[in-house]
Amino acid sequence: MTAVTPAIDTDSLTAIDVHVHVEVDDNGHPSMGGKLMEASAAYFKAGHRTPTVDEIAQTYRERNMMAVVFTVDHQAATGHPPIGNEFVAQAAARHPDVLIPFASVDPARGRSAVDAAVRLVNEHGVRGFKFHPSLQGFNPTDRAVYPLYATIASLGVPAVFHTGQTGIGAGLDGGGGIRLGLSNPMLLDEVAADFPSLTIVMAHPSFPWQDEALAVATHKANVWIDLSGWAPKYFPPNLVRYAGTLLQDKVLFGSDFPLITPDRWIAEFDKLDIKPEVRPKILKDNAVRLLGLSK
């Protein structure tokens, strides 16, 4: 079964940001507990750390952009109750001109995560899923998660995985218990090989495994990269080179808003050594293909 995506007029858009976090629901419930939230805000020197969904929509509407929005369900690992996926989907439905809902299902939920994935796509219009192995505390190659991957593949929607270092827990004793090695992109090479019909997006420049991420993305046709989470002026030279050449059709604009604003990201991206004909692919066209949007 394949998710049906409503037609969206993308011709007039300036960009599609594929990586935007919903950090608070309409009742004020945050996506993370205090220490983790504070650590990530300090790491990124973020300003308004918890904009509402309506504020996110207004931010992107003013810039004539669309944004993929999601939260992360990490309750099993941290004990913090998640923002509901249904809330994210319903809130995004208030702004269909600018917001595209993704969901997050905790792999620790087992069969209920599989059932939730089906329901969220078929009943709530969710168009993809977000995983954060370090925050959720799971190894992507764990065979217990494979039924969830198989289901997402059958639904015809992409799966986004955090890769590399994370600002969540940064500076805390023991990093807040978060294990960076779970987000090594080489783990996703195994997943991509075992699920060739699953579209995988490796989120972020994958420090300290950038070359590994580039190798996986060039080798596996079903693996993409989004450029969120780092200000472009800090992108490793090899990432810029691959984004402008071998991977120009599989690299995506993502900001990691509210941690990095789309304004800052675009301003710094404009200064990178990338050919003019490649820039529209990264900013919008590749996302149109990935998400199955009409153009």
Q: What gap in Å lies between CA 70 and CA 114, rounded to an integer?
A: 18
Question: Counting beta carbons within 10 angstroms of the beta carbon of residue 40, is it exposed (0 to 12), middle (13 to 18) or buried (19 or more)?
Answer: buried
Structure confidence at residue 39 (pLDDT): 65
pLDDT tens digits along 52-66 = 999 999 999 999 999
Report the interhelical angle of 85-93 vs 53-62 (nearest 10°).
Answer: 40
- Buried/exposed code over 3-37 (b: 16+ C-beta within 10 A; e: otherwise): eeeeebebeebebbbbbbbbbbbeeeebbbeeebb
In this predicted structure, the answer to whether residue 176 has a pLDDT above a threshold of 90 is no
Mean pLDDT of the chain: 93
pLDDT tens digits along 164-173 = 999 888 888 8
Cβ neighbors of 203 (< 8 A, separation 6 or more) are 19, 160, 161, 162, 163, 226, 228, 229, 254
Q: Is domain 16-291 in CATH 3.20.20.140, yes or no? A: yes
Each domain of the chain, given as residue ranges in start order, spans 16-291
**Percent of residues, the chain, with pLDDT higher than 70:** 91
pLDDT tens digits along 71-122 = 999 999 999 999 999 999 999 999 999 999 999 999 999 999 999 999 999 9
Nearest CA-CA partner of 189 in 178, 205, 200, 203: 200
The answer to which of 14-18, 27-31, 48-52, 218-222 has the lowest mean pLDDT is: 48-52
pLDDT tens digits along 110-156 = 999 999 999 999 999 999 999 999 999 999 999 999 999 999 999 99
Contact 18, 79 (CB under 8 A): no
